[in-house]
Amino acid sequence: MSHSYATPQGFHRHENGGGLVADTATVADTAYVGPNARVFDQARVLDMARVSGTAKVSADATVLGAAKVWGNAKVYGTAMVLGAAKVSGNAKVSGCARVIEKAKIFGNADVSGNAYVFGSAKVSGSAEVLGDAYVYGTARVSDIARISGTARISRGHIRTGVRDGEEVTRSLSMGKVPVLAHTRWTRAFSICGQTTCLSASESGRPVLFSLPMRPNWLGRNVAGPSGGYSAKVFEFGTDGPRLIVAAVDGSDTSLRAGAYAAGLARRQNSRLVLVYVHQTSGALSAAVPGAAALAMETSASIVGEIRQDILVHGPRLGIDVSLVERRGSPYHEIASLAEELHADALVVGASMQAGHRIVGSLATHLVRSAHCPVTVVP
């Protein structure tokens, strides 16, 4: 298909829609880029994704799956819009933000930082979702709401600000925001009268933080202000690590490593930082059509499951836990993050590959070169 639009040097017109695409960008043949839409820099538009109107995808951003970006919306930074997510109007998704599943961002909304919007959540108006905030489930954020820090919103309609660390997990009345947890991970399942017990493997896979349950697993049950149980209980112990880094990649051994690290963090009252490294597909992408898109979608799915595990099980254990995403070589990224954070301990899973049955090449490298104690979990 030929187009009459002027094409600047270093750009070309995408065959499916005629949109302007930088020669450095990657757009799948099956994706649609409308005549006035733009895909710049090293951005990627893959699978059946659609970019239309005057929308722009730039920097190292990714639009994948059946996601749609239209109107005058902008997706940039290392942001990702995946699944059936939609970004429209004058909305912006930037930084390391993730918008996935059936989430919708529209109006003049701004999602940035490490924010995560998923499920059927909607962000509109001039609302902002920033920092490490999660908006998910059936939550709706609009007007001048500003969701920031480590706030967690899963239901209701938020029109005003929610402070760092607050959690809203049931329907809200107009103009009132009942806060169920004023500090991060301080109460386990105080809502709906639930106890601390959860199924460890509802999806058929090992669940992060699914430590063996036993009676009085925190030493004793302490009633919380709303009838639930407090996860902050004093335990005797010795000085231990203040910050633990655990590498997770979705494999059984890495999830066991995450569970072990979570238990250690709970017992030692440590901060836990999980790290997931998105690996570059390299030669495989060149040899197998669609391999890069499949790898990215798989990674996004794994990250989504890990974040969901954090949301569900972090409060149960009463630990300060977060997830960091990196891109590149797992060895270099894990080692550099541990050094940057001055980690006191590093936890990794043993490789399950046939050639790495003893410990695993990644674990071996880390044991030899890391500047902190390394625990390898089989």
Count the helices and strands in the chain (H runs, E runs): 5, 33
Rounded CA separation 251/126 (Å): 40
Weakly modelled stretches of the chain, pLDDT under 70: 1-5, 161-240, 280-292, 351-361
Range 186-223 burial, b when 16+ CB lie within 10 A, else e: bbbbbbeeeebebeeeeeeebbbbbbeeeeeebeeeee
Find, among 368, 327, 332, 375, the residue nearest to 78 by Cα. 327
Rounded CA separation 278/300 (Å): 9
3-state SS assignment for residue 39? strand
Residue 27 φ then ψ, to 5°: -130, 125
Rounded CA separation 273/266 (Å): 13
- The DSSP bridge partners found for residue 22 are 11
The token duo for 126 is: 């001039």
Q: What is the pLDDT of residues 123-163, one digit of tens each?
A: 999 999 998 888 888 899 999 999 888 888 888 888 876 64
3-state SS assignment for residue 353? coil
Rounded CA separation 221/195 (Å): 10
Whole-structure pTM value = 0.54
316's CB contacts (< 8 A; 6+ apart) are: 188, 189, 196, 198, 209, 231
Quick one: CA dihedral 242, 248, 253, 255, positive or negative? positive
The pLDDT, as a whole number, for residue 129 is: 93
Rounded CA separation 164/175 (Å): 19
Residue 303, Cβ neighbours under 10 Å: how many?
Answer: 22
Rounded CA separation 158/160 (Å): 6
DSSP symbols for 232-253: ----------SEEEEE--SSHH
Find, among 58, 120, 126, the residue nearest to 86 by Cα. 120
Residue 286, Cβ neighbours under 10 Å: how many?
Answer: 10
Rounded CA separation 128/120 (Å): 17
The pLDDT, as a whole number, for residue 272 is: 93
- The DSSP bridge partners found for residue 245 are 273, 346
- The DSSP bridge partners found for residue 348 are 376
What domains does the chain contain, in order, with CATH numbers? 237-377 (3.40.50.620)
DSSP symbols for 192-236: GG--S---S-TTSS--TT-PPP-TTTTSS--B-TTSSEES-----
51's CB contacts (< 8 A; 6+ apart) are: 19, 31, 32, 33, 34, 37, 38, 39, 45, 57, 63, 68, 69, 70
The pLDDT, as a whole number, for residue 151 is: 83
The pLDDT, as a whole number, for residue 159 is: 84
Q: What is the pLDDT of residues 230-270, one digit of tens each?
A: 333 334 344 668 899 999 988 888 888 988 999 888 888 88
Please give the torsion angle defined by the CA atoms of residues 80, 204, 360 and 287, in that order, rounded to the nearest 10 degrees: -50
Amino acid at 150: T
Rounded CA separation 349/54 (Å): 46
